[in-house]
Amino acid sequence: MEAHDAVDRTAFPAGARTAEPSAAWLAAAADDPAQAYTEWGERGVALLPLGRRFDAVRIPEVLVRAALRAHGTVDGPMVLDPGNGMYYALVPPQSTETWACAFGACLGRGAHLGVPHPSRLGPPGAHWVVPPCAHEPSVLATARIVRELIELGRREVEGAAAVPREQCGWCKEETGRPVKVGLIHGGSGGGGDVHACPGCVAAHRLMALADHPADSDGTPRRVPGRS
Ligand SMILES: [Zn+2]
């Protein structure tokens, strides 16, 4: 068996060599860049000080995922730490000073971030979802772009929460745009609303409950039609 070298560049995954310019740029944030390489070699993640080459915006995973669902894009280097369910977008240093968004915390001078080696693109542990640019690692997302991503995610989450998904009483599919078309009268105080999806409302000419006449008992009814 061969002994492991204490510092062995081949210990980094494939792609480490093309990631080297980014690694050098990130490591230069540390007082001792060699220490960053040691930590990358041992754990894949190096603890680097913020506020020098970059600050980091910490964003809850649910907001980033919602923003991506809404076709937002991650326009700059970003780390995911599955351990705490947080994304970290790298932004220019001193972004903390003008940061104003309650749904993401901007971390800067005095704080440290566990930064994966740029070749670390998947779990386990913290990894890049978007690695730094190999040719121009100093290109970061602007704070404004990151704030827009967060706000897109928040609108998406709130929109989903405002209209819970319901099962359509006709096609039995779940719909994110339910229309209330009737009431169920439970035998012992139970009951609830009857929902339909927009497709079935149109197909069956269902009348919205809000349009029912005053004497309606809530039984679903059709819009009077010409056909
Ligand atoms: Zn339906």
Model pLDDT, residue 19: 85
Q: Say how many C-beta atoms besides its own lie within 10 A of residue 100's C-beta.
A: 7
For the chain, how many helices (H) and strands (E)?
A: 5, 11
**Do 122 and 147 reside in the same domain of the chain?**
yes
Same domain (yes/no): 132, 199:
no
Can you give the pLDDT at residue 219?
95
Coil/strand/helix, residue 151: helix
Q: What is the DSSP-derived secondary structure letter of residue 103?
A: T
Q: How large is the C-alpha radius of gyration of the chain?
A: 26
Residues with Cβ < 8 Å from 68, sequence gap 6 or more? 74
d(CA 151, CA 169): 34
The Å distance, Cα 154 to ligand 1 centre, comes to 28
Pair 34, 20 in one domain: yes
pLDDT score recorded for residue 2? 37
Domain limit, last residue, from 100, 133, 161: 161
Residues 197 and 116 in one domain: no
Whether 43 and 96 share a structural domain: yes
**176 and 155 within one domain:** no
Q: What pLDDT is recorded for position 58?
A: 94
Residues 25, 132, single domain; the answer is yes
Q: Regarding beta strands 45-49 and 112-116, do their DSSP bridges make them parallel or antiparallel, or are they unpaired? A: antiparallel
Cα-to-centroid distance, 153 and ligand 1 (Å)? 28
Burial 108-144 (b: 16+ CB within 10 A, else e): beeeebbbbbbbbeeeeebbbbbbbbeeebeebbebe
Confirm whether 219 is domain-assigned: no
Q: How far is CA 94 from CA 28, 30, 99, in A?
A: 17, 17, 9
In Å, how far are 74, 76, 142, 152, 211 from 56, measured between CA atoms? 14, 11, 11, 19, 51
180 Cα: distance to centroid of ligand 1 (angstroms)? 12
Residue reference for tokens 């990358």: 40
Q: Compute, in angstroms, the gap from residue 218 CA to the centroid of ligand 1.
A: 18
Reference 27, options 57, 58, 52, 56; nearest CA is: 52
Task: Output the pLDDT for position 185.
Answer: 78
**What separation in Å is there between the alpha carbon of 51 and the centre of ligand 1?**
53
Domain enclosing residue 186, as ranges:
166-211
Q: What separation in Å is there between the alpha carbon of 200 and the centre of ligand 1?
A: 4
Who surrounds ion ligand 1 at CB < 5 A?
A: 168, 170-171, 197, 200
Q: Average pLDDT of each block of 10 consecutive residues along the chain (227 residues)?
A: 40 62 96 97 97 96 90 90 94 93 91 96 94 92 94 84 83 89 76 89 91 94 78
- What's the CA-to-centroid distance between 68 and ligand 1, angstroms? 27
Q: Give a yes or no: residue 216 inside a domain.
A: no
Structural domains counted in the chain = 2
How close is the Cα of 172 to the center of ligand 1, in Å? 6
Please, are residues 212 and 218 in contact by the beta-carbon 8 Å criterion? yes
Determine the distance separating the centroid of ligand 1 and the alpha carbon of 20, expressed in angstroms.
Answer: 54
Residue 1 lies in a domain: no
DSSP β-ladder status, 45-49 and 78-81: unpaired
Q: How far is the CA of 184 from the centre of ligand 1 (A)?
A: 17
pLDDT score recorded for residue 70: 87
Q: Are residues 132 and 172 in the same domain?
A: no
Q: What's the CA-to-centroid distance between 168 and ligand 1, angstroms?
A: 5
* Helix, strand, or coil (residue 86): strand
What's the confidence (pLDDT) of residue 176?
83
Q: Which residue has the tokens 């096609």?
A: 171
Q: Which of 130, 161, 192 is the last residue of a domain?
A: 161
204 part of a folded domain: yes
Q: pLDDT digit string (tens) for 128-170? A: 999 999 889 999 999 999 999 999 998 888 777 666 789 999 9
Residues 110, 207 within the same domain = no
Query: Does residue 119 contact residue 61 with C-beta atoms inside 8 Å?
Result: no
Cα separation of 73 and 134, whole Å?
19
Q: 60 CA distance to ligand 1 centroid (A)?
A: 34
Q: Domain for residue 199, yes or no?
A: yes
